């Protein structure tokens, strides 16, 4: 080893080696410095661009709620704005300049009605003509709103009430009145939660209960009642659904008023009940049977056997043909139909009417209000079936529905919507009465005496029953929740 250092030029080599090491160190430190500088700069600008992009997203969500064009085109069609969410995608954009050297461009592209993707791109100008950019994407949508605000029992008349007298009522969902709710004469009302109705008793007006009646509910929210608390009544969490929340301290927490959901009975639209019944009839898909076979009228097959669009006389002929103790079946489980009657319907004289689908009338519907019909007599009965998941089912009228003293000889089961533009009255029904779907009227009167009325909320059944969905499952008149849901977000660079 010592020999190496005796050679000439050794010092020079060692010097070069040491200098080389020092140079490498120097270059490393310089590189480290530059990297740190870039990281610091990037972090700063990255944070700034992120929050500017977030500002764009917030601005877009506000526009979806309050800007006329954005809110209209997001969920419906408009000639003024040349958009139609059902047939074409809709796009819109806006630009905000929150800081002098920055731009945030927000764009929305709707993929279908009430669903779209918001993209906010923010850029900040840097020295040397460079720019920093951040892109934030958010998917937003609106859910279909419950047609009855989560109510299985719904009264929409502004000056009408829900009157419950000497009745036992079991509700799975909410009970809603657009005016007062009166519970009297030893009534027993129980409301329990479902997936969309919390089991509340909601009255836009007053809640009046007699001392001897009992009520079980998740909450009672009315103009004069806020039980057990404003929090339970959702005044705190959902102020959009409630009015006068500023006065919750005074025990006032009524829900906002809601009108009766609209049903298209007989317009020229292909989706009105009358037109749908007519087109089913034209397609030869209507089939009404008496006691499992053909209905005979005066020795000949009844005119209404293969009809879905009938007048009240034709429908009465079918009922008469069924005979005392007989059954008239509208449609079948394999081919459910909408039967539209252009007059009143009265079920009496010991008939059983089975509806596979929907029975719609332009005038009053009376079930078991009278015991006798000419020479026939007996308790009558109606059953409404919903054979498939896309069947329009229920009992609907432009006027009143009246279930009377002779309206059942066994449990009444209606899987569909019971809907009346006017009053629905259920008086002293002799047997258990069950509706899966909902009961909707301008005014509701219940007097059950001994038997229970059971109402189970099902928003899907209500949507089909009101004719808001067709047999293929398409939404005809969708109503969306006011809440904009943010489904997913991601950041890209």
Partner 1 sequence: MKTQRAFTLTEMIVAITIFVLIVVAVFSAHTLSQRAYREGERAAEISQNGRVILERMAREIRQAKELVTNLSYSETEATSSLEFEDGHIPIPSRYQDLGSEYYYIRYHIPAGTQDLERQYRVYCFDSCDFTNCQPQSATCTNVCSSYHRWNATQETTPTSTHPCVLEDKIIGEYLTGLGFWGSSVISVSTTLEKEDKSLNLKTKVYGRNL
Our CB check for partner 1 shows the closer of 247 and 475 to be: 247
Distance separating alpha carbons of residues 141 and 482, to the nearest angstrom:
10
Q: Which two tokens stand for residue 294?
A: 């053909």
Q: Least distance (Å) from partner 1 to the CB of residue 57?
A: 9
Give the interface with partner 1 as residue ranges (CB under 8 A).
Answer: 15, 19, 22-23, 25-27, 29-30, 32-34, 36-37, 39-41, 43-44, 47-48, 51-52, 54-56, 58-59, 61-62, 66, 96, 98-99, 230-231, 236-237, 239-240, 246, 248-249
396 in Cβ contact with 361 (< 8 Å) = yes
477 exposure class (CB count in 10 Å sphere: 0-12, 13-18, 19+) = middle
Distance separating alpha carbons of residues 130 and 132, to the nearest angstrom:
7
Q: Least distance (Å) from partner 1 to the CB of residue 173?
A: 24
Burial 385-396 (b: 16+ CB within 10 A, else e): bbbeeebbbbbb
Our CB check for partner 1 shows the closer of 40 and 88 to be: 40
Distance separating alpha carbons of residues 75 and 61, to the nearest angstrom:
14
Q: Least distance (Å) from partner 1 to the CB of residue 229?
A: 9
417 in Cβ contact with 392 (< 8 Å) = no
Our CB check for partner 1 shows the closer of 215 and 484 to be: 484
Distance separating alpha carbons of residues 263 and 46, to the nearest angstrom:
53
Our CB check for partner 1 shows the closer of 68 and 240 to be: 240
Q: Least distance (Å) from partner 1 to the CB of residue 233?
A: 12
Our CB check for partner 1 shows the closer of 44 and 86 to be: 44
Q: Least distance (Å) from partner 1 to the CB of residue 60?
A: 9
With CA atoms as reference, report the closest residue to 368 among 381, 354, 383, 384.
381
Q: Least distance (Å) from partner 1 to the CB of residue 202?
A: 20
Pairing mode, if any, of strands 327-330 and 288-290? Answer: antiparallel
Q: Least distance (Å) from partner 1 to the CB of residue 127?
A: 16
Helix (H, G, I), strand (E, B) or coil at 422: strand
Our CB check for partner 1 shows the closer of 20 and 301 to be: 20
Our CB check for partner 1 shows the closer of 210 and 246 to be: 246
Q: Least distance (Å) from partner 1 to the CB of residue 51?
A: 4
Cα dist from 464 to 262, 265, 333, 391, 418, whole Å: 13, 14, 17, 7, 12
With CA atoms as reference, report the closest residue to 461 among 250, 239, 172.
172
DSSP 301: E
Sign of CA dihedral 238, 243, 247, 250: negative
Our CB check for partner 1 shows the closer of 313 and 487 to be: 487
């Amino acid at each position: 080893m010592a020999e190496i250092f005796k050679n000439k030029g050794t010092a020079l080599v060692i010097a070069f080696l040491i200098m080389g090491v020092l140079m490498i160190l120097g270059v490393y430190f310089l590189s480290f410095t530059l990297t740190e500088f870039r990281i610091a700069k990037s972090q700063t600008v990255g944070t700034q661009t992120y929050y500017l992009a977030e500002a764009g997203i917030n601005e877009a969500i506000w526009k979806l709620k309050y800007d006329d064009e954005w809110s209209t085109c997001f969920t419906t069609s408009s000639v003024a704005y040349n958009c139609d969410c059902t047939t074409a995608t809709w796009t819109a954009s806006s630009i905000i300049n929150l800081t002098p050297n920055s731009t945030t461009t927000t764009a929305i592209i709707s993929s279908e009605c009430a669903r779209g993707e918001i993209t906010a791109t923010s850029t900040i100008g840097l020295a040397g003509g460079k720019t920093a950019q951040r892109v934030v994407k958010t998917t937003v949508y609106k859910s279909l709103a419950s047609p009855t605000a989560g109510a299985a029992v719904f009264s929409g008349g502004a000056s009408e009430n829900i009157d419950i007298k000497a009745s036992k009522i079991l509700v799975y969902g909410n009970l809603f009145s657009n005016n007062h709710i009166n519970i009297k004469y030893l009534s027993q009302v129980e409301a329990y939660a479902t997936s969309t109705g919390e089991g509340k008793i909601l009255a836009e007006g007053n809640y009046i209960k007699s001392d001897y009646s009992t009520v079980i509910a998740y909450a009672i929210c009315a103009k004069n009642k806020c039980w057990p608390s404003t929090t339970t009544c959702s005044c705190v969490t959902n102020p959009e659904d409630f009015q006068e929340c500023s006065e919750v301290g005074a025990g006032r927490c009524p829900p906002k008023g809601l009108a009766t959901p609209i049903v298209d009975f007989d317009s020229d639209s292909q989706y009105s009940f009358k037109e749908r019944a007519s087109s089913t009839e034209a397609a030869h898909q209507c089939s009404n049977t008496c006691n499992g076979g053909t209905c005979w009228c005066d020795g000949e097959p009844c005119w209404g056997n293969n009809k879905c669009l009938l007048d009240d006389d034709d429908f009465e002929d079918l009922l008469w043909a069924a005979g005392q103790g007989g059954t008239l079946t509208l449609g079948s489980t394999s081919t459910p139909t909408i039967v539209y009657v252009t007059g009143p319907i009265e079920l009496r004289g010991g008939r059983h009417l089975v509806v596979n689908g929907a029975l719609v009338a332009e005038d009053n519907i009376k079930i078991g209000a009278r015991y006798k019909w000419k020479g026939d007599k007996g308790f009558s009965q109606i059953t409404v079936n919903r054979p498939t998941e896309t069947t329009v089912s229920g009992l609907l009228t432009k006027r009143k529905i009246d279930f009377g003293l002779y309206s059942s000889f066994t449990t009444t089961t209606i899987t569909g919507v019971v809907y009346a533009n006017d009053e629905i009255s259920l008086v002293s029904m002799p047997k258990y009465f069950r509706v899966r779907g909902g009961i909707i009227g301008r005014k509701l009167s219940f007097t059950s005496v001994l038997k229970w009325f059971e109402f189970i909320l099902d928003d899907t059944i209500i949507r089909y029953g009101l004719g808001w969905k067709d047999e293929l499952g398409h939404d005809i008149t969708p109503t969306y929740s006011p809440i904009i849901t943010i489904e997913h977000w991601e950041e890209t660079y």
